[in-house]
């Protein structure tokens, strides 16, 4: 693909085609999940990044994507199950651990390092938001997407959902993704991109490492929904809903 063609491609579309490119955008601090709807050209202009360096990094990436990473080609019902069993389970298992770390670090170090108090407060909001968010997906949106996938396989129509168009819950989920994403951006700034101070104890280091891991997982999680699952569900609904 020529540079001029790449420049006009949306970041979300590039990552959807090859998940490995996510590491490049992460390296340059470019949002590829919630903010993936802009072109490489515009993203680089906003961040004052040398676009040629970024394009070279993308071209250096192996373009061979294994089936286990080729999310864009998966059936939607399989993708839904993957999101729940991989990312939702990870979030659920991690929330309590991070909360325990954050609470302890804020209590012990908050007086002389107040940023950790704010981090603890922000993560508490994130935990509440994500718990409610995932429940809505698992009980309302995802079962409907699986009905759409079944209709697609059988080539039959289905009745409209009680919430109307699938756009309605999707819009809500995307708004909630953006809220959580912005909260994590605040945490990244407060933590100097998860870099603990030299004097940090092991719990402090563990907190920052786990927050970093959690945010990276969240970026992939949101990318799979915003940029692959949701657009395909919308397109599928237009074909099979009576």
Q: In the chain, which ranges are E strands?
A: none
Cβ atoms < 10 Å from Cβ of 206: 17
Burial class (CB in 10 A: 0-12, 13-18, 19+), 188: middle
The answer to whether 236 touches 148, Cβ cutoff 8 Å, is yes
Angle CA 110–112–115, to nearest 5:
50
Sorting pLDDT into bands at 50, 70 and 90, what band is 163?
A: very high
Sorting pLDDT into bands at 50, 70 and 90, what band is 1?
A: low
Per-residue pLDDT, averaged over 116-145, amounts to 98
Sorting pLDDT into bands at 50, 70 and 90, what band is 65?
A: low
Sorting pLDDT into bands at 50, 70 and 90, what band is 60?
A: confident
Using CA atoms, how far residue 19 sits from 4, 62, 220, 221, 224, in Å, is 21, 11, 9, 12, 10
pLDDT in tens, 69-89: 789 999 999 999 999 999 999
From CA 221, how far away is CA 215, in angstroms rounded?
A: 10
Q: Which pLDDT score is estimated for 184?
A: 96
The tokens for 193 are: 């991109």
What's this model's pTM, rounded to 2 decimal places?
0.86
The answer to whether 137 touches 233, Cβ cutoff 8 Å, is no
Across the chain, what does the average pLDDT equal? 92
From CA 233, how far away is CA 225, in angstroms rounded?
A: 10
Sorting pLDDT into bands at 50, 70 and 90, what band is 64?
A: low
Q: Which pLDDT score is estimated for 59?
A: 86
The answer to whether 133 touches 111, Cβ cutoff 8 Å, is no
The answer to whether 152 touches 216, Cβ cutoff 8 Å, is no
């Amino acid at each position: 693909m020529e540079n001029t063609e790449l420049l006009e491609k949306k970041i979300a579309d590039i990552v959807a085609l090859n998940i490995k490119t996510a590491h490049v955008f992460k390296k340059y601090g470019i949002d590829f999940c919630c903010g993936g709807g802009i072109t490489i050209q515009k993203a680089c202009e906003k961040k004052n990044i040398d676009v040629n360096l970024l394009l070279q990094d993308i071209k250096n990436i192996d373009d061979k994507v294994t089936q286990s990473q080729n999310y864009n080609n998966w059936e939607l019902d399989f993708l839904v199950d993957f999101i729940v069993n991989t990312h939702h389970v990870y979030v659920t298992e991690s929330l309590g651990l991070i909360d325990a770390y954050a609470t302890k670090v804020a209590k012990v170090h908050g007086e002389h390092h107040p940023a950790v108090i704010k981090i603890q407060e922000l993560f508490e909001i994130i935990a509440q938001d994500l718990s409610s968010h995932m429940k809505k997906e698992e009980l309302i949106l995802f079962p409907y997407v699986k009905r759409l996938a079944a209709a697609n396989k059988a080539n039959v129509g289905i009745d409209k959902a009680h919430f109307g168009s699938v756009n309605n819950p999707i819009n809500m989920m995307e708004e909630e993704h953006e809220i959580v994403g912005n909260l994590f951006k605040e945490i990244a700034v407060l933590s100097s991109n998860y870099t603990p101070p030299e004097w940090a104890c092991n719990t402090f280091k563990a907190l920052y490492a786990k927050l970093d891991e959690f945010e990276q997982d969240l970026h992939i999680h949101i990318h799979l929904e915003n940029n692959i699952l949701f657009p395909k569900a919308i397109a599928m609904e237009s074909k099979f809903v009576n």
